Amino acid sequence: MIILDRLEPLRALVDRELDAFLPGETERPEAVHRAMRYSSLARGKRLRPILAILTARIFRGETEEIAPVAAAIELIHSYSLIHDDLPCMDDDDLRRGVPTCHKAFGEAVAVLAGDALLTCAFEMILANGRKHGFSAEALLSVISELSRAAGSRGMIAGQIEDIQSEGKEIDPDLLRYIHHHKTGCLFTASVRVGAILAGAGEKGLDDVSRFGDIFGQAFQITDDILDVEGDSAVTGKPQGSDQQKAKATYPRLFTLEKSKQMAREQVDEAAAILAPYAPASDDLIALVRYLPDRTS
């Protein structure tokens, strides 16, 4: 069974938590609430909350009570996708196999739904965190990790450098900067959130941070490869979009073959970091090993 099938119950658990916390479609302002639910409940892999939950298991065993807090990370991710798709950014029409938020609801609603998802994430962390008995100190650390990863020292930094580098010559350092910030920071924050909620010590936090960073790089390389080789019916987003916009990508800088090799090397490196935690780290290792073969 491939790892994503084995993790399907976790994916469904995250969806139930999101469904339960997000405002209902009939609650005023209906348009914004409908758009928030439309984009965040659309079929996605829920990789970031799943990474947090699996990381927590390394340090604390079965950890169902992490899910209501970890699920909030998906709201930050969904916000970034909505804004990334806007006409002023990537101007994409398809996401997760359905029309993008601004195509379905208009631009003003999409901007506001994205903003509301970002703030809703922090509301969800506090509300669910207190309900499930996490300390105020742990929840402050979680908020600190995620706000930094989503802010101008994290995702925003990667996004703006990505936009500004379109059509220009890029070097490997810039490519690494863009992807580390745009994609890697939220993956690293996700595993750190899982470790913090599970009470991991310094060494554990350090190990999962290195794992998260390399996971992010391997994920991004395969994302770039999928833009070249993927099937938009499976990825749920337009194929060739990066190439069309002359984006900074691994295949553009290193060729497709070399990019695939780099992804495989990073997967091995990430797996080695968590090998000493086996068998508790088996699912995380399987998840990173799935990246080079992913089709969506």
Rounded to whole angstroms, the Cα distance separating 40 from 15 reads 9
CA distances from 178 to 44, 85, 148 (A): 23, 17, 16
251 counts as binding ligand GRG under rule CB under 6 A: no
248: number of CA atoms within 13 Å, CB side? 23
Rounded to whole angstroms, the Cα distance separating 138 from 161 reads 32
For ligand GRG, the closer of residues 66 and 291 by Cβ is 291
- Residue keyed to tokens 């990474």: 51
For ligand GRG, the closer of residues 161 and 207 by Cβ is 161
Site string for ligand GRG, 47-76 (x = CB under 6 A): x-----------------------------
For ligand GRG, the closer of residues 100 and 128 by Cβ is 100
List the one residue from 138, 156, 174, 286 that touches ligand GRG (CB under 6 A).
156
- Name which of 65, 77, 74 is nearest 139 in CA terms: 65
How many Cβ atoms from other residues are within 10 Å of residue 288's Cβ?
A: 25
Smallest separation (angstroms) from ligand GRG to the CB of 101:
12
Full DSSP string of 175-244: HHHHHIIIIIHHHHHHHHHHHHHTT--HHHHHHHHHHHHHHHHHHHHHHHHHHHH--HHHHSS-TTHHHH
For ligand GRG, the closer of residues 81 and 125 by Cβ is 81
Smallest separation (angstroms) from ligand GRG to the CB of 158:
6
Site string for ligand GRG, 85-124 (x = CB under 6 A): -----------x----------------------------
The site that binds ligand GRG (CB under 6 A) totals a number of residues, namely 17
Smallest separation (angstroms) from ligand GRG to the CB of 146:
13
| DSSP label of 291 | G
**Footprint (CB under 6 A) of ligand GRG, residues 226-245:** none
Whole-angstrom Cα Rg for the chain: 18
| Contact window for ligand GRG (CB under 6 A) among 44-52, 190-198, 204-212, 261-269 | 44-52
Where along the sequence are the contacts to ligand GRG (CB under 6 A)? Answer: 44-45, 47, 77, 80-81, 83-84, 96, 155-156, 158-159, 182-183, 220, 223
